[in-house]
Amino acid sequence: MQTLTHTDALARFGHALSDITRTRILLDLNEAPSYPADLADRIGVSRQTLSNHLACLRGCGLVVAVPEGRRTRYELADARIGDALDDLMGLVLAVDPNCTCIGPDGEVCGCG
């Protein structure tokens, strides 16, 4: 297993959070580990789309797949990732709880 420098780790975390679906996955897994089909249903994406995003998050080192018989459960790779997400949520909400720079489709709309 390879470890990353602080800069690389932050860049990967930022990349993961730059997509609304990956952000939703991380926030959902911060609540509790889950199975892909359940995640896809809760987030409202196809299983293929979810699978692609989970592969990205695994590659970034943010989630891990835990085999359970014929099923695979996903969870955050480290509890501190959840702490970081909680801190970021608090920061964003403290800065501007009514921010409109993310449109209803989850795309950045370029306010300012």
pLDDT at 85 over 80: yes
Q: What domains does the chain contain, in order, with CATH numbers?
A: 6-95 (1.10.10.10)
Overall pTM surpassing 0.85 (yes/no): no
Tell me if 72 sits within 8 A of 35, measured CB to CB.
yes
Residue type, 12: R
DSSP label of 5: -
Q: 7-60 pLDDT, tens per residue?
A: 888 888 898 999 999 999 999 999 999 999 999 999 999 999 999 999 999 998
Encoding tokens for residue 41?
């249903």
The set of residues, in sequence order, having a beta carbon less than 8 Å from that of 29 and lying 6+ positions away, is 39, 63, 74, 75, 76
